[in-house]
Structure 1
C-alpha cells in the first residue's frame, strides 16, 4: 500500500504521518514538507521536499510517484501573494 500525505510536517500532518506508519506497517508512507524536514523518522516513511504553492515542484513530484492508494491533504494556504 502506498500512502501520500501532503503537508506532513505540520502539527496535524505529522500526527497523520505517525498514525499511518503505526497503523499500516506494511505500507510505504510518502510525506511532503516545504522547508525543513521533520526530525521524526520511520523506516516506512519517505520524506519529500515539495512547495505545493509552486506548480513546477508539484508536477516534478507527481512524476516521481507511480501509484498512490490513499492521498491525505494536510496543507492549508490562506494567500499565495
Structure 2
C-alpha cells in the first residue's frame, strides 16, 4: 500500500470508530452539545468516507500490479 492509501484508511477507521461511539451516546469532543457533536461527527464521517471511496486505492495484489503497469506507461503520477 502506498502512503496515501494508509493515511486514508487510518482516518476512515477513526471516523467510523467515532461514529460508533456517537451511536452509543459517547461524546469525545468536550464542551459540545449533543446536537453539535452529532453534526460534527456525521460531517467528519461523510467527508472521510467520500474521500476514501473517491481515491483510487491500490490495496489488493492485483491493484498493485495495475498501478505498476500504469506507472510504467506514464499513465499515472509516480509516488
TM-score (ref. length: structure 2): 0.25
Which is higher, the Rg of structure 1 or of structure 2?
2
Greater helix percent: which structure?
2
TM-score (ref. length: structure 1): 0.24
Greater strand percent: which structure?
1
